[in-house]
Structure 1
Amino acid sequence: MTIDLGFAWLTLPDGREVSLIDVPGHEGFIKNMLAGVGGIDVALLVVAADEGAMPQTREHLAILDLLQVRSGVVALTKADLVDEEWLALVSEEIATLLQPTSLAGAPIVPVSAISGQGIAALLAHLQEATARAPERPDRGRPRLPVDRVFTLAGFGTIVTGTLIDGCFRPGQEVEILPRGLKARIRALQRHRQAISVAQPGERTALNLAGIAHQEVERGDVVTLPGLLQPTTLIDVRLRLLADAPRPLSHNALVDFYCGAQVVPATVRLLEDDELLPGKSTWAQLRLHQPTVVERHDRFIVRIPSPSLTIGGGEVLDAHPRYHRRRRSEVLHHLETLALGSPEAIILTHLEQPVRRMTGTTRLQWPAYEVAELARLSNLTQPVTQQALETLLTQRRVRRVGTYWFALNVWQALSEEALRLVRDYHLQFPLRSGLSKEEWRSRLHLPPRLAMEVFETLRSEGLLTEAGSAGLLRLPEFLPTFSAEQQRQVERLIQVFRENPFMPPTRGEAEALIGGELVNALLERGELVKMGDGTILFLREAYERAVALITSYLQEHGTITVAQARDLLGTTRKYVLPLLEHMDEQRITRRVGDLRVRLPQPAGT
């Protein structure tokens, strides 16, 4: 009796090779059956003519229907053991079973392994069914759900599976999820023949270097590094089988099967408190361990006790935010994901704040590059680009550098970005502007996106930089002193001029006119701070001191701290920070206890 997956291949009459996955038929091994059936394009449903449809046959057929396998053939085996009348009755029974499923109308072929009856017809029907099966799309995002892991002497770790999407080539670095392990493809095989590239839909064996076979198991997914992220929350369209033993309740515990993986999951029904047999609904599944799925993946759900298939459906969003129940906007969003055009699907992603996959922080301003949008929408990049261009002509999206925003999101972001700077000007009218880093942090923008947003606002004349200190200001803003503040500033400047090389310290200056006015004079450049900012010089005094010292150096070649002190008529307290500042500005260089003058660029 088959208890686990078996693998082989077959050459059809037209010369094409097809891969065969033999799955267990016994109801006790449905878990193994599901690990193999998830990657098939054509079903060969085997029913013994002398027994007819068994309970597991009905469950297998329900699973094929939930997975939407639309191309298939029924092999009615042991046809030589029954008479024509019985064969006709069993064929009619099977046709009736198929009628409400995705395999309705599939050919039913009586065959005998002993006499060879019907084998040629079966091959012909398989050839036709495989020709009808849709080709697997290549969206450039390869992933291989692992259904078998083993090791061979001289080769090391080998994993097999059906390649979904994208291509693999020897030499590529790959990532095994959800474990996050890295490996390299040493070689590829299909049907025990070495190949240079694995295509979507092909049964593929990967010889992996850099990883032990004990580190990989059935259900893991091989993909390219950084391409996919495991998830623990997914939005789905869920259908309960008509013969399910009871309604499915909100927060029910089920086993979730997708690809070759199975994980426990909690069902959050978003419309009602229970789902009746034969009905469908929008739901969120909370997966109890990180799982790799993508939009449009088909899945099966089973109840753990008694172990029974009760339903399945389609993944609509692999990385959604947490939804509150019975919200019309949530249901509309899910309906768009399920049935909408590429433009509608992309727009709903651009308009929906999302939960970051690495934590619970919500991205307040959803903005994506084309590749990420294509991945979220499960569309090819050309289709995604064309849809974005269409939305752009309709003035429903905005391109900001390499990022795309929904127009209403961009308008809200730009208004908030300008408001932050405007409020800063009102709060600190003497300061030149808000620091870029504080602005970025308060907007919750990643650095590269913040740069693109600023450049766009600057190009539109809405925001500008204040000097070279990384400050942002509104173009029309100019720090100005009130009449009283101007009088205070003039008094302080007079104090600085009275003792130009022994001026008040910062603390003394702030005691005279306040910290805000001192900061404003520093930002304007009227005061120059030395070292840690304790010592301040009036700009004109600083420039005069630099001129005196450089003139002395031109004549004598070197200068000591004591000589500089005597030259300026000041004390070590002031001259040492001044000389260190000149070193930082590359006007001078310290050599032991001496300073020498550095060559200056032309024009300085």
Structure 2
Amino acid sequence: MPVIMGTAGHIDHGKTTLIKALTGIDCDRLAEEKKRGITIELGFAFMDLPGGTRLGVIDVPGHERFVKNMVAGAAGIDFVTLVIAADEGVMPQTREHLDICTLLGVETGVVALTKCDMVDEDWLAMVTEDVRGVLAGTFLADAPIFPVSSHTGAGLPELRVALSELADTFAPKRRSDLARLPIDRVFTLRGHGTVVTGTLIAGSFAVGDDVRLFPTDKRSKIRSLQSHGETVEVSPAGRRTAVNLAGLEVEDIERGEVLALPGTLFPDTVWEVELLCLASAPRGIKHRTEVHLHHGTREILARVHLLDRDKLEPGETAVCQLRFPEPMAGVHGDRVVIRSGAPLRTMAGGRVLTPMARKLKRHTEETSALLAELAATTGTALVALQLRRAGTEGLGFARLMTLTDLESKALDKALASLCDKGGAALTDREGKEGRHYVHGDTVAALATSLAEFMAAYHKREPLKLGVSRSELASTWGKALSPKLFHLMVERLLRAGKLATEGDVIRLPDHKVSLASDQAKLRGILLAAYQKGGLTPPNIKDILEPLDLTFKEAQPVYKVLQDEGLIIKAQENMYFCAAAIKALIEKVQAYYAAGATDMGPAEFRELTGLSRKFLIALLEYLDKDKITVRVGDKRQLRKR
């Protein structure tokens, strides 16, 4: 597996000279670097180790003015070689670089005591003892210390063996999916065009891949790839990679942007981060303090929003929110470093928990409980937590990839497990961000809400059989996606908690309840229309003897319609539903006997109706899609 080693240490302690002695590659490529004799930008090299592993090397600047460049390089390393000059010992940037590596999650490495040819044995022993004391309690507490001289070559063979053993046994934690390359260089190569470089921290890139720049979402395609000076078809995670991009100019790209596959990152202006304020920090971090945030190869101003306290003291850890002036693209588990503004100094750092967060209220029990849960939760439980937080909006598979520590196969398994146990529900199989899910608690809450809505509706509209699906969607379901609305209705129908008649939805035990006078009117109306058949009485003739207006009787008419006993053919013209059914059968038999069309005359002969009812019924048959009008004739609609 590819491995990246990075250097760290104070300015002029011989980092670049040591790398040249080990690899034969001079990492200082800029004219200004050679003129001033100091490293300004990141340098890159590689070393072929005895075991056959090609070790990538990132050389970082040691000057305090270029710490931001150092952080950009250290963000992509697997282990560190801490370089300390034997003639000077531990210096300010030695300590700061060590802090930065700690905050970035580096867990192992070696120590190189350079310039050992410039001191005597007693001095070297004293410096070694001092270094061991400084490293106590750090991740390099037990690291081997190698006195070396890049000038004479002393100690270099032993250091090479140690690096080889470390590289061969080290198993870096990298995702095989979610390909990301934080960009640290952008330049033009004659004959090729725009090239970006960086450390591929996850996934892989292949020639021909469609890619995007985040957070800008600019589009491109990979023309070619190089790794350690060799042209390759595929570059895996852990490799220093140069990507030749199509369709973009140098000015279109900024250092700090992230190259990734389309639809895999979701930039946001609010992150939740588990933040450690260094015990060595000169002061704590107050709520709303503006800081310099380093993430990957990007530096940006951010405000620290402390949610459960007013100040994060040195040595304390807290989950807080970082808010940015523009969107940032991150993934759960990413590391960040925070430096103060004046003077510039590394103060804190930690890991990203939620790279797409909603603003939270401070000093509430609910927020405090959530923060504690976020810091302690991983795996399937984290999937469930993020789904619960998403509420009715839910989350797509691609977004869940960035919000959890799970790769795609593990996430599939986690979601399947949650769905089986009722902890999640699949709402859309082909969403914009892949399969879409909501939390099981959200489904339960929506089911309760829908049942309550229907109960209130029936109480408010006792004479209505129920509510149409479209009306239900535009009222109760107006804040839901169409897929989630459909899921909820169908779930309750299958569970017998809702019933449907045609397009009307109701509670299973709901029946239209009429007052005694309305029940009496229902009987009168039904009898009148059953008797009238296809020649029903005028509404006025029915209601005038009862001293009722149509407005007063209309609710009872609606009940009869909902019950499927009468049909409204035209305004103020109703027919007995059974008579209409018999008519439709007669019309279908007419066509089945060989007729191809039917005009008003044929319809009159078939039914014996007067023009008053004839035209209304012909138009109703068209509206009910039994027939279709062609000129003055009707043909049987082909279904």
The TM-score with structure 1 as length reference comes to: 0.84
* Pair 1:521-2:560 in alignment: yes
Distance 1:238 1:77 in 2: 34
How do residues 278-357 of structure 1 correspond to structure 2 at under 5 angstroms? Answer: 278-340=315-377, 342-351=379-388, 353-354=389-390
Which residue is 2:5 aligned to? none
Which residue is 1:583 aligned to? 622
- Equivalent AA in structure 1 for residue 258 of structure 2: V
Change (3 A) 1:539 1:391: closer
Distance 2:163 2:473 in 1: 60
Distance 1:104 1:72 in 2: 10
Contact persistence 1:500–1:541 (CA under 8 A):
no
Distance 1:588 1:438 in 2: 28
Distance 1:221 1:37 in 2: 16
Change (3 A) 1:587 1:220: same
Which residue is 1:163 aligned to? 200
Change (3 A) 1:463 1:211: farther
- Equivalent AA in structure 2 for residue 420 of structure 1: F
Which residue is 2:59 aligned to? 22
Distance 1:481 1:350 in 2: 45
How far is the alpha carbon of 1:229 from its aligned partner? 0.9
Which residue is 1:458 aligned to? 493
**Residue 484 of structure 1 aligns to a residue in which SS?**
helix
Instruction: Give % identity.
Output: 36
Which residue is 2:297 aligned to? 260
Contact persistence 2:628–2:637 (CA under 8 A):
no
- Equivalent AA in structure 2 for residue 397 of structure 1: G
* Pair 1:597-2:635 in alignment: yes
Change (3 A) 1:327 1:187: same
Contact persistence 2:355–2:402 (CA under 8 A):
no
Change (3 A) 1:330 1:503: same
Distance 1:314 1:555 in 2: 79
From 380, 396, 404, the equivalent of 2:407 is 380
Change (3 A) 1:305 1:440: farther
Which residue is 1:124 aligned to? 161
How far is the alpha carbon of 1:312 from its aligned partner? 0.8
**Residue 266 of structure 1 aligns to a residue in which SS?**
strand
From 559, 570, 588, the equivalent of 2:611 is 570
* Pair 1:237-2:274 in alignment: yes
- Equivalent AA in structure 1 for residue 462 of structure 2: P
Change (3 A) 1:551 1:350: closer
Contact persistence 1:49–1:90 (CA under 8 A):
yes
Distance 1:527 1:408 in 2: 43
Contact persistence 1:230–1:293 (CA under 8 A):
yes
How far is the alpha carbon of 1:75 from its aligned partner? 2.3
The alignment yields a C-alpha RMSD, in angstroms, of 3.6
Distance 1:472 1:139 in 2: 48
**Residue 312 of structure 1 aligns to a residue in which SS?**
strand
Alpha-carbon displacement from aligned partner over 1:273-311 (angstroms, at most 9, x marks no partner)? 212222222222122211111222111011122222111
From 231, 234, 237, the equivalent of 1:200 is 237
Change (3 A) 1:411 1:308: same
Distance 1:10 1:266 in 2: 41
- Equivalent AA in structure 1 for residue 633 of structure 2: R
How far is the alpha carbon of 1:259 from its aligned partner? 0.9
How far is the alpha carbon of 1:540 from its aligned partner? 5.0
**Residue 168 of structure 1 aligns to a residue in which SS?**
strand
Alpha-carbon displacement from aligned partner over 1:210-248 (angstroms, at most 9, x marks no partner)? 433332211212222222211221222211122322221
**Residue 71 of structure 2 aligns to a residue in which SS?**
helix
- Equivalent AA in structure 1 for residue 370 of structure 2: H
Change (3 A) 1:114 1:247: same
Moved more, 234-243 or 472-481: 472-481
Distance 1:538 1:396 in 2: 47
The TM-score with structure 2 as length reference comes to: 0.80
Structure 1 segments unaligned to the other structure (5+ residues): 355-362
**Residue 147 of structure 1 aligns to a residue in which SS?**
strand
From 423, 428, 431, the equivalent of 1:397 is 423
Distance 1:134 1:366 in 2: 38
How far is the alpha carbon of 1:69 from its aligned partner? 0.8
Distance 2:419 2:193 in 1: 51
How do residues 16-95 of structure 1 correspond to structure 2 at under 5 angstroms? Answer: 16-95=53-132
Alpha-carbon displacement from aligned partner over 1:119-151 (angstroms, at most 9, x marks no partner)? 212211222332454323325222222222223
Distance 2:278 2:199 in 1: 27
Which residue is 2:219 aligned to? 182
Structure 2 segments unaligned to the other structure (5+ residues): 1-37, 430-435
From 117, 136, 145, the equivalent of 2:173 is 136
How far is the alpha carbon of 1:100 from its aligned partner? 2.9
- Equivalent AA in structure 2 for residue 23 of structure 1: V
Distance 2:176 2:483 in 1: 26
From 505, 520, 524, the equivalent of 1:472 is 505
Alpha-carbon displacement from aligned partner over 1:65-114 (angstroms, at most 9, x marks no partner)? 11121121222222222222222233333222222322222222222222
Question: How many pairs were matched up?
Answer: 582
- Equivalent AA in structure 2 for residue 462 of structure 1: K
Contact persistence 2:273–2:321 (CA under 8 A):
yes
Alpha-carbon displacement from aligned partner over 1:506-526 (angstroms, at most 9, x marks no partner)? xx9983445433433333333
From 526, 539, 549, the equivalent of 2:577 is 539
How far is the alpha carbon of 1:398 from its aligned partner? 5.6
Contact persistence 1:501–1:537 (CA under 8 A):
yes
**Residue 198 of structure 1 aligns to a residue in which SS?**
strand
Change (3 A) 1:576 1:389: closer
Change (3 A) 1:299 1:546: same
- Equivalent AA in structure 1 for residue 634 of structure 2: V
Change (3 A) 1:44 1:538: same
Which residue is 2:23 aligned to? none
- Equivalent AA in structure 2 for residue 291 of structure 1: M
How far is the alpha carbon of 1:252 from its aligned partner? 0.7
**Residue 204 of structure 2 aligns to a residue in which SS?**
coil
**Residue 336 of structure 2 aligns to a residue in which SS?**
strand
Contact persistence 2:264–2:398 (CA under 8 A):
no
Change (3 A) 1:454 1:186: farther
Distance 1:284 1:392 in 2: 30
Which residue is 2:19 aligned to? none
Change (3 A) 1:488 1:186: farther
Which residue is 2:535 aligned to? 500
**Residue 106 of structure 2 aligns to a residue in which SS?**
coil
Which residue is 2:453 aligned to? 420
Distance 2:326 2:618 in 1: 62
Contact persistence 1:400–1:453 (CA under 8 A):
no
**Residue 70 of structure 1 aligns to a residue in which SS?**
coil
